[in-house]
């Protein structure tokens, strides 16, 4: 199966390139960067080291996507929007790991997924996918618990709370029959007053090179359950993305997430 990688010079792009190189059943079809990127025109090995790959880094997204089976995209919403439109036009599947989409983006992806198939997940790790599943159960059973979501990421991250933290919040809210937008609390400073029952609070830490840590508190007066996940390196996301790519190969048109990929529905 031929994989194209967008955002190839980014942290996740390079992790995905390395994972494709190491995978016996996958072939690199192309590596896409922004116009003007230093790597443009060079062999993709310039981004990951090792032997030459025979694939030149390119800024021509449409041309590269046309020769792949599945696109793996970890970039920014502005770029992912464009790549998703190309994939739908060409009937190519895509694994989209970019975070920071708004509700209009999600609606558009849903529409485009009638023409092709996408896996969209703010966190591609198997551990986080399981944590989401467990949280759904815990939030329903501990229906009175105060839910607080704490996330820590490296200093380069540009969106907050993380896409994963928001997804954890959505799953917890949905498990209680609520919409996250009705119960989320993103800011606390000054005279906040006591905690409002039923809300879901978020706290964000940005520091150093932390790859990604998420901790959900479900606190009752006499006990507290915590669901926590720590990513030690970016390989977990890259390997999850390639698992999603293999799932898409035989999937019907539609919009999927990692719960579908792992058969947790």
Catalogue the active-site residues. 153, 157
Task: Provide the pairing of β-strand 212-219 with 224-231.
Answer: antiparallel
Q: Which of 3, 5, 7, 171 binds ligand NAD (CB under 6 A)?
A: 7
Residue with the two structure tokens 């995978």: 23
Q: With binding defined as CB under 6 A, does residue 76 bind ligand NAD?
A: yes
Q: Is 124 among the residues that bind ligand NAD (CB under 6 A)?
A: yes
Closest residue to ligand NAD: CB criterion: 10
Q: Which of 150, 147, 172, 146 is nearest to 160 (CA)?
A: 150
For ligand NAD, the binding residue among 4, 5, 9, 117 (CB under 6 A) is 9
- Choose the stretch contacting ligand NAD; rule: CB under 6 A; options: 43-51, 119-127, 135-143, 192-200: 119-127
Task: List Cα–Cα distances, 109 to 86, 87, 101, 116, in angstroms.
Answer: 12, 11, 10, 10
- Tell me the two tokens of residue 14: 């390079």
Interacting residue with ligand NAD among 4, 5, 12, 138 (CB under 6 A):
12
Binding mask 230-249 for ligand NAD (x = CB under 6 A): -------x------------
Distance set, CA 211 to CA 25, 65, 90, 109, 232 (Å):
27, 28, 34, 27, 6
Binding residues (CB under 6 A) for ligand NAD: these are 7, 9-13, 33-34, 74-76, 78-79, 97-100, 121-124, 163, 237
């Amino acid at each position: 199966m031929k994989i194209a990688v967008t955002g190839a010079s980014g942290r996740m792009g390079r992790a995905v390139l390395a994972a494709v190189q190491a995978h016996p059943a996958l072939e690199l079809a192309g590596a896409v960067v922004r116009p003007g990127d230093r790597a443009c025109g060079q062999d993709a090995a310039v981004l990951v080291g090792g032997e030459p790959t025979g694939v030149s880094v390119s800024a021509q997204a449409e041309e590269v996507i046309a020769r792949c089976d599945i696109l793996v995209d970890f970039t920014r919403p502005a770029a992912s929007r464009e790549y998703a439109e190309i994939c739908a036009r060409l009937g190519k599947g895509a694994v989209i790991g970019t975070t920071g989409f708004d509700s209009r983006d999600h609606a558009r992806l849903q529409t485009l997924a009638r023409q092709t198939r996408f896996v969209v997940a703010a966190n591609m790790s198997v551990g986080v996918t399981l944590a989401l599943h467990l949280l759904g159960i815990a939030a329903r059973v501990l229906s009175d618990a105060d839910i607080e979501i704490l996330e820590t990421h490296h200093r380069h991250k540009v969106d907050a709370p993380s896409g994963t933290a928001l997804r954890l919040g959505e799953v917890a809210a949905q498990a209680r029959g609520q919409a996250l937008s009705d119960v989320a609390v993103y800011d606390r400073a000054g005279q906040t007053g006591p905690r409002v029952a039923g809300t879901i609070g978020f706290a964000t830490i940005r520091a150093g090179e932390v790859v990604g840590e998420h901790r959900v508190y479900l606190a009752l007066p006499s006990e507290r359950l915590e669901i926590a996940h720590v990513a030690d390196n970016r390989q977990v996301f890259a390997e999850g993305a390639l698992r999603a790519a293999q799932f898409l190969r035989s999937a019907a048109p539609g919009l999927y997430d990692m719960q579908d990929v792992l058969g947790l529905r």
